[in-house]
Chains A and B, each alone.
Chain A
Amino acid sequence: MLLLHPGPVEPGAYHGAITVPEDRFAEAKAWLHERVPLLERDGLDEFALGAPWNSQSVYFAGPDGILLELIARHDLAAAESSGRFSSTDLLRISEIGLAVPDVAAAVASLQNAFRLPVFGTAAPEFTPLGDPDGLLIVVRQGRPWFPTTTVTPSLGPLAVTVELPSGGKSLTLTANCQVKAA
């Protein structure tokens, strides 16, 4: 669930991704392209990543410039649905970006609180935590969101709730960012 409340919006952009069925990426892209402009980089409007991501993505802008993504993760199960692609094929929140001043410190705090695994490689500017079902994308403040070269992360308030066996914990990651495990 995405919970939106009226309030001051800080400069920059939030980032979120939504999972689509791994075998319906082309349909998802066509469906989305009928509705919004797709963001491009170097003349491309879709982006594939190898292991461990094993995914295809398209990006678009939402309200207040939120940088949204539809992502097909090929390590997840194929579609249970058939027929024309629709909003019911937007399966779940796949990623949410967390902008922090010190990625390594934030990752250590998140791992200490929730025992989240690094997904792929930990880097000083970008470290994903979680698994293909859901990822916290921990990025350095000021690092532009892909595929843009200029849109930097919002430092505005953000609260994320994840489902983990070690539920009931809460971590204040920055003054404006809280992560809870339910």
Chain B
Amino acid sequence: MLISQVELPVSDAVQAARFYRGVLGLPIRTGGGVVQVEVGP
């Protein structure tokens, strides 16, 4: 069973984007205040 999407709130989307992109190096997309983090090739 693959988990294809997990959606949850964050208090600070900018900080969250910085963590997932800057610390973990994951690709992200942003738009409308939403941060989309891609996990996996």
Residues on A close to B: CB < 8 A?
Answer: 1-9, 14, 16, 18, 35-36, 62-64, 86-88, 90-96, 116, 130-131, 133-136, 156-164, 182
Instruction: Choose one: B9, B19, B25; the contact of A62 (CB below 8 Å).
Output: B19
CA A71 – CA B2 in complex, angstroms?
15
Query: How many B residues face the partner with a CB closer than 8 A?
Result: 31
Residue pairs across A and B with CB atoms within 8 Å: the count is 140
**With A2-B39, A5-B33, A36-B23 known to touch, is A182 a contact of B10 (CB < 8 Å)?**
no
Chain B, 17-41, CB within 8 A of any chain A CB = 17, 19-20, 23-26, 33-41
Q: Which residues of A contact B2 (CB under 8 A)?
A: 92, 133-134, 162-163
CA A36 – CA B25 in complex, angstroms?
12
A83 nearest CB across to chain B (Å): 14
Q: Which residues of A contact B13 (CB under 8 A)?
A: 4-6
Of the A-B pairs whose beta carbons lie under 8 Å apart in the complex, a sample of 22, sorted by A's number, is A1-B6, A2-B36, A3-B35, A4-B34, A4-B36, A6-B13, A8-B11, A9-B9, A9-B11, A16-B6, A18-B39, A63-B12, A64-B16, A88-B41, A91-B40, A93-B3, A133-B2, A156-B8, A156-B9, A159-B6, A160-B7, A162-B1
Instruction: Choose one: B4, B6, B36; the contact of A163 (CB below 8 Å).
Output: B4
Do B8 and A157 touch (CB < 8 A)?
yes
**With A63-B12, A63-B15 known to touch, is A90 a contact of B6 (CB < 8 Å)?**
no
B9 nearest CB across to chain A (Å): 3
